[in-house]
Structure 1
Amino acid sequence: MFRPLELFIGLRYTRAKRRNHFISFISLISMLGIALGVTALIVVISVMNGFDNELRTRILGMVSHATISSLDEGGMSDWAATQKKAEANSHVLGSAPFIEREAMLQGDRVGGAIVRGVLPDQEPKVSEVDRKMKAGKLEDLVAGRFGIVLGRELSYKLGVDVGEQVVVYAPEIQATPVGAVPRLKRFTVVGIFEIGMEEYDAGLAIVNLEDAQRLYQMQGPDGLRLKLDDMFNAFGVARSLAEELGQYYRVRDWMQGHANFFRAIAMEKRVMFMILSLIVAVAAFNLVSTLVMLVQDKQADIAILRTLGASPLSIMGVFMVQGVVVGAIGIALGTLFGVVLALNLEAIVKFIETQFNFTVLSPDVYYISDLPSDMHWSDVGLIALLGFGFSLIATLYPAWRAARTQPAAALRYE
């Protein structure tokens, strides 16, 4: 079978037992360094993807993909008809009315929170709060009974539990014969939920929509919360819906409320990628010293090839093949180990925790106590391509130096 001269000689040099074992040792170190760097990069990026996915899932468990809010302070009076029009859109999987206002809550202690009014039978269409209940049920929010569901951290802050009462103060003043007093209502705690996000567990209280309307003296809900088939196209779909409805509405998607949060995660991911890429680069550029020493060791062979008619480009090709082969083996090993670790990271971490009796992420400290991993094959391909690029660049200088070898000077003392 025909093989180019450069490939044939380069592979032969790679397989041959070298007289200088130090060169072989440096090649092995370079190979293992590339493998280690690629492994670390795949695992860390997979963990960053896992945290991003876990946080997005928890946030979307309480936040709808998009909201359409009325600009009328009294609320959306014709919300039922508006909901039918919204659900007729092919991109809308579900919708539910809501009221969302700030309030001061008083139990044994006082704390501020966001009070969200919902319809218990429709809320599961746009959120997962019914599946995150730790005590009671969302269905216990019956209109007229003034029940309230609190986040677990909020219940701790207020010092109340299921069956106890809290007073909700609306940030509005009403006139009475004894003067201006804040509007307030006594609610009974009928349930406690836990999402795993401090923003909601410590700052959200849920009541029935009709009870919220009475507390805030509204004629209807603030608007509709939507669940869509493509959460990344939420703003566009919500905007087109608002235009179809023919009135003035405020449109907001889930990314707008958490833009800085997800932007910070994306920035951390890019920074970690760049830092760990330097590890791969350092390991790849160890090939420079390996190939420079090899070129020096093979001066006579290079001179003979030149006298037999090999061009400088052919000589460059020989040593580039050697460097690329070493790099490719390191990349292949690193990719294999990285993929295996990324796919089994959670099981490996649990095994280590069991064997050594310690916790990597304590649930008492971190809301996410597992180490999630979400490997994307596109990331694996990009990392492998990056490692290959570094290996190829590292071969250029030694190969160019080999191509400049003068046969007469190299064979003078042979």
Structure 2
Amino acid sequence: MNPALSCFIGYRYWRARKSNAFASFITFFAVSGIFLGVAALIVVSSVMNGLEGQLKQRILGAIPQLTVHTQAPLTDWQKLKQQLLSLPGVKGVEPSIANQAMVQSAANIQAVELYGIFPEEDKSLSPLAVNTFNDAFNALQPGKYNVLLGSELARRLNVMSGDKVRLLSGEGVIYSPLGPVPSQRTFTVVGVFEMGSQVDANVAYLHYGDARRLMRKSADDIEDLRLFLADPFLAPTVSPKVANLLAQQGIKATVTDWRDSYGHLFAAVKMEKNMMSLLLSLIIAVAAFNIVSALVMMVVDKTADVAVLKTQGLSPFGVMLVFISQGSLNALLGLLLGLVVGIGSTLNINSIMSVLGMHILGVGQRLPVILNPSQLGIIALGSVVLTLLATLYPAVRAAAVQPANALRYE
């Protein structure tokens, strides 16, 4: 058996003008279906990747990605920092403290998540400094009692730089004859940051020392470490390694990560992305069924040819290969067109939408796009495998043709 001969015959069948116009019509729609399915899958997946990446930067860049809370103050946190930095996936470690509180202005009162940080260390690790107006990030100095608010939070409180707000901490409550009295202090708003996400409405930043004093704790003690990861989505794998390292050092601590507060949001985005991919994959599946129909008609049309080829010594597998190669060429043509159009549309989607006058995210907003090469490989491989499976049934039917029966009336 010569596989090259079978593939050549399949190629000639593919190039020849079809005598059955209906089979040609179905073949055209099969190729078009694969082309549209692959192109749409690439565009939608890339946009969903971009939206997920944007959320990851805007939300997970502003909150602790992984936090270590020790039961007792650390005696040498710098040494522990070096050990944590040696773990794969960890790109930064700094002292931090978080607490739920209320922030009150003359106009309104809002619940807020307070983060105490060291701006000089946080500046090189977090995108927060880049997204802070008027370099107010550097104004967080110990003992100055300054606070940095999210832009949406500042709008709701109706405050701007230089205004005074009162912070009431949920930690550091003292009990008096009149009942529990929360720890509170007046702070000066030194600026606002804007990450373009829900973080802007419920997060505020203080200097670490000021946050500790607000909670009636020693400003010099370090009990919490905030870890920055090369990829926040690595938290599930990095967290156990951090816990093991702390256990080896005899440090009793609790390790938490961003999934506790924002895991549901990213789980919803991931599920939406998977469902969209599944729905668009069904387009390719329908196109594969069209290939089955077209090849079955081709087998019926070429029954006499198949019988002649078998009488000349072509094996059943060789006959199968003829129709597998013919169907695969249709699939490859649709796949190549889909890849070219899909990648081209993805790279120029904002220009295309601008020409069409479409503004999905609002005027002036650009769709974020991340073209993932591994995802392209999965789409291409999945399409090829699906269409190859679709050619098996017609190919098996062709291989089962009996020359004597097929040529009885020829």
| TM value normalised by structure 2 | 0.88
- After TM superposition, give the deviation of residue 276 of structure 1 in Å: 1.5
Q: 1:46-80 CA distances to partner (integer Å, 9 max, x unpaired)?
A: 222222222222233213442221224xxx364xx
Map 1:157-176 to 2 at 5 A: 157-171=156-170, 173-175=173-175
Preserved CA contact (<8 Å) 1:185 1:215: yes
**Which of 386, 394, 398 is matched with 2:394 structurally?**
398
Matched, 1:339 2:348: no
- What residue in structure 1 maps to residue 19 of structure 2? 19
For the residues of structure 2 that align with 1:132 and 1:381, how far apart are their CA atoms? 35
Map 1:277-316 to 2 at 5 A: 277-316=281-320
For the residues of structure 2 that align with 1:103 and 1:195, how far apart are their CA atoms? 21
Preserved CA contact (<8 Å) 2:74 2:223: no
For the residues of structure 1 that align with 2:212 and 2:165, how far apart are their CA atoms? 18
- After TM superposition, give the deviation of residue 293 of structure 1 in Å: 1.5
- What residue in structure 1 maps to residue 349 of structure 2? 348
Matched, 1:325 2:329: yes
For the residues of structure 1 that align with 2:100 and 2:246, how far apart are their CA atoms? 25
Preserved CA contact (<8 Å) 2:148 2:192: yes
| Structure 2 gaps, min length 5 | none
**Which range moved further: 6-15 or 240-249?**
240-249
Map 1:81-160 to 2 at 5 A: 81-87=76-82, 89-91=85-87, 93-107=91-105, 108-160=107-159
Taking structure 1 as reference, are residues 194 and 229 closer, same or farther at Cα in structure 2, changes over 3 Å only?
closer
What code does the residue aligned with 2:225 have?
A: L
What code does the residue aligned with 1:386 have?
A: G
What secondary structure is seen at the aligned counterpart in 2 of 1:113? strand
- After TM superposition, give the deviation of residue 408 of structure 1 in Å: 3.7
Taking structure 1 as reference, are residues 180 and 320 closer, same or farther at Cα in structure 2, changes over 3 Å only?
closer
For the residues of structure 1 that align with 2:177 and 2:260, how far apart are their CA atoms? 44
For the residues of structure 1 that align with 2:333 and 2:141, how far apart are their CA atoms? 65
**Which range moved further: 87-96 or 137-146?**
87-96
Taking structure 1 as reference, are residues 196 and 33 closer, same or farther at Cα in structure 2, changes over 3 Å only?
same
Preserved CA contact (<8 Å) 2:3 2:318: no
For the residues of structure 2 that align with 1:130 and 1:98, how far apart are their CA atoms? 16
Preserved CA contact (<8 Å) 1:361 1:371: yes
For the residues of structure 2 that align with 1:234 and 1:58, how far apart are their CA atoms? 21
Matched, 1:238 2:234: no
CA RMSD of aligned residues (A): 2.5
- After TM superposition, give the deviation of residue 322 of structure 1 in Å: 1.1
What code does the residue aligned with 2:195 have?
A: I
Q: 1:231-287 CA distances to partner (integer Å, 9 max, x unpaired)?
A: 524314422442354321112234454333333333223222222211101101101
- What residue in structure 2 maps to residue 47 of structure 1? 47
Q: 1:207-232 CA distances to partner (integer Å, 9 max, x unpaired)?
A: 12222222210123441112345652
- What residue in structure 2 maps to residue 58 of structure 1? 58
For the residues of structure 2 that align with 1:94 and 1:112, how far apart are their CA atoms? 29
What code does the residue aligned with 2:395 have?
A: A
Taking structure 1 as reference, are residues 180 and 58 closer, same or farther at Cα in structure 2, changes over 3 Å only?
closer
**Which of 271, 275, 300 is matched with 2:275 structurally?**
271
What code does the residue aligned with 1:216 have?
A: M
For the residues of structure 1 that align with 2:358 and 2:40, how far apart are their CA atoms? 23
Q: 1:354-394 CA distances to partner (integer Å, 9 max, x unpaired)?
A: x3444221279xxxx43222222222122112111221122
- What residue in structure 1 maps to residue 33 of structure 2? 33
Q: 1:290-314 CA distances to partner (integer Å, 9 max, x unpaired)?
A: 1121122222222322333333333
Q: 1:303-351 CA distances to partner (integer Å, 9 max, x unpaired)?
A: 3223333333332222222111111221122122222223x1xx43244
For the residues of structure 2 that align with 1:29 and 1:62, how far apart are their CA atoms? 49
Taking structure 1 as reference, are residues 52 and 179 closer, same or farther at Cα in structure 2, changes over 3 Å only?
closer
Taking structure 1 as reference, are residues 63 and 175 closer, same or farther at Cα in structure 2, changes over 3 Å only?
closer
For the residues of structure 1 that align with 2:342 and 2:358, how far apart are their CA atoms? 24
Preserved CA contact (<8 Å) 2:77 2:222: no
- After TM superposition, give the deviation of residue 204 of structure 1 in Å: 0.9
Q: 1:89-112 CA distances to partner (integer Å, 9 max, x unpaired)?
A: 434543222221111111111111
The count of aligned residue pairs is 399
Preserved CA contact (<8 Å) 1:154 1:201: yes
For the residues of structure 2 that align with 1:195 and 1:84, how far apart are their CA atoms? 32
What secondary structure is seen at the aligned counterpart in 2 of 1:4? helix
For the residues of structure 1 that align with 2:363 and 2:223, how far apart are their CA atoms? 36
For the residues of structure 1 that align with 2:356 and 2:277, how far apart are their CA atoms? 30
| TM value normalised by structure 1 | 0.87
- What residue in structure 2 maps to residue 215 of structure 1? 214
- After TM superposition, give the deviation of residue 180 of structure 1 in Å: 5.1
Matched, 1:227 2:228: yes
- What residue in structure 2 maps to residue 259 of structure 1? 263
Aligned-residue sequence identity (percent) comes to: 39
For the residues of structure 2 that align with 1:270 and 1:400, how far apart are their CA atoms? 34
**Which range moved further: 400-409 or 104-113?**
400-409
**Which range moved further: 60-69 or 28-37?**
60-69
Q: 1:133-184 CA distances to partner (integer Å, 9 max, x unpaired)?
A: 1245112122222211110111111111111111112235435687754332
Preserved CA contact (<8 Å) 2:183 2:216: no
Taking structure 1 as reference, are residues 357 and 82 closer, same or farther at Cα in structure 2, changes over 3 Å only?
same
Taking structure 1 as reference, are residues 8 and 211 closer, same or farther at Cα in structure 2, changes over 3 Å only?
closer
